Structures are given as C-alpha cells and as structure tokens.
C-alpha cells in the first residue's frame, strides 16, 4: 500500500525537490507552505508521516508540532538548519520522532523515512503482546493501554517502551534505545532518549515524578520494572 507523506516547507524549491524525489521512490506526496496550511492538509489527507521544516512564516514548525500533538500521533521528521543541540531537543520534546540537519541529501532523508515507517509496521514478531502491571502493549496493533485507558504514543516512544518491556529487569543503554527509536539510520544525541523517556513516564506512570515502571540507572541507561 502506497504511503502518503506530507512535506511542509516554506521554500517552494525544497518542496518541489522533495516531492519529485520521494514520488520517484514510490510515495504519494502532499505539500504545505506553512504550519497553518499544514494543519488543514494533515486533517484532510491523514498522511502516514510528516516531514517538517522548523523555520516557517505564519505558524512555525514548533507551533505546528504543539497543535498536531494535541490530537495526532503521526510520526514527524523535522528539518532544521540549526545545529544547536537545544533547538533539536526542543523539537523532540514537542513530539518529533527524528530530525535531519540541512543541508542533507534526499537519499539520507528517504532512509530516515523508511526507518520510521518500519518502526510503525513493527518487526516480524509483531503479533506479540507484552504485559506488565496495568500496561498492555500490542506490537501487531501498535497500541498501548494502561488499565482501561488507551495511550497514544509516537513511533519512537512506542519502540522504546516495547524494547524495555521485552526485557524487564535488564538495563538498556541510551545508545541501544536510540537505535530502537531511530532505526539503523540513527544519528543524534543520546540525550534525545531522555526526552522520549520523560514523555513515556508522563503517559504511562501513575506518578511520573516517582516512576514505578521505567527506572533510571544513572550513568548507564534505563530498566523496565514489572511492578
């Protein structure tokens, strides 16, 4: 089934370049020139993945992400010309799943797109259901439930939680969780895992300030405690 990608960038040349390249790689591509237009396009087209430039007029990438994440867990790859770690982490804190720094090659971006979409589809063992305490994670359905409450996770959050729940009691390093979150084409700061863990705790923990399930092992990584 053909995947639909939404490309959001205020530069017409960049939109045209990415649309031509990604269409040639077998994707259906829709575009928007700013965040406000993109919100309407996202609601109408229901894309499988969004490629988002951060610096735009009308409604910038940060504001778009805030608005999108109120009701939508569609995976997002951000495009940024900024190289500061804080700018990238802010995008991840707002719910982005990966990022590519400009200038980049279309081939690199498409590799990131494939990696994120693979995580959504899940591995071959996707039918496996993981349970711990009140948490039920279904790889096949790509769903998480805490008690009777369904929880919406981004693909990166889902991948990290699945990795932790699959090996309860074992400490997983930030680097190994970063690979789970970003796939084989990962490149980034290990600190981004801390951002995803913070989001997960807010969504699944009874008291995020005193986590019951996801335990920090200082200087090493994180461990899932079955409760």
pLDDT value of residue 227: 61
Output the six-digit token pair for 219: 């200087």
Assign 176 a pLDDT band (cuts: 50, 70, 90): confident
pLDDT higher than 50, residue 125: no
Cis peptide bond N-terminal to 59, omega within 30: no
| DSSP-derived secondary structure letter, 132 | E
Average the pLDDT over each of 53-62, 88-97, 121-130 and give the range with the smallest value: 121-130
Residue 99 forms beta bridges with which residues?
A: 78
The domains located in the chain, with CATH, are 4-121 (3.40.50.2300), 129-224 (1.10.10.10)
pLDDT higher than 60, residue 127: no
Output the six-digit token pair for 103: 């200038």
pLDDT value of residue 186: 46
**% residues pLDDT > 70 (the chain):** 89
Assign 82 a pLDDT band (cuts: 50, 70, 90): low
Report CA-CA distances (Å) from 205 to 83, 172, 210: 33, 19, 8
Q: Which residue in the block uniquely carries the two structure tokens 């087209």?
A: 45
Assign 189 a pLDDT band (cuts: 50, 70, 90): low
Mean pLDDT of the chain: 85
pLDDT higher than 90, residue 39: yes
- Residue with more model confidence, 221 or 52: 52
pLDDT value of residue 83: 58
- Residue with more model confidence, 177 or 197: 197
Distance from CA of residue 85 to its chain's centroid? 17
pTM to 2 decimals? 0.61
pLDDT higher than 50, residue 124: no
pLDDT higher than 90, residue 75: yes
């Amino acid at each position: 089934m053909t995947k639909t990608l939404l490309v959001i960038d205020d530069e017409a040349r960049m939109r045209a370049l990415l649309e031509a390249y990604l269409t040639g790689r077998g994707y259906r591509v829709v575009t928007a020139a700013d965040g406000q237009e993109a919100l309407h396009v996202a609601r109408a087209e229901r894309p499988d993945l969004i490629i988002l430039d951060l610096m735009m007029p009308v409604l910038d990438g940060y504001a778009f992400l805030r608005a999108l994440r109120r009701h939508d867990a569609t995976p997002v790859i951000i495009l940024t010309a900024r190289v500061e770690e804080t700018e990238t982490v802010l995008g991840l804190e707002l719910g982005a799943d990966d990022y590519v720094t400009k200038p980049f090659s279309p081939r690199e971006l498409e590799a990131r797109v494939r990696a994120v979409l693979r995580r959504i589809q899940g591995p071959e063992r996707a039918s496996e259901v993981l349970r711990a305490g009140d948490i039920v994670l279904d790889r096949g359905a790509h769903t998480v439930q805490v008690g009777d409450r369904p929880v919406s996770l981004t693909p990166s959050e889902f991948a990290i939680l699945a990795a932790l729940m699959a090996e309860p009691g074992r400490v997983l390093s930030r680097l190994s969780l970063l690979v789970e979150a970003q796939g084989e084409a990962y490149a980034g700061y290990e600190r981004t895992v801390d951002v995803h863990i913070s989001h997960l705790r807010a969504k699944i923990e009874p008291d995020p300030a005193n986590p019951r399930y996801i335990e920090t092992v200082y200087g090493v990584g994180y461990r899932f405690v079955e409760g």
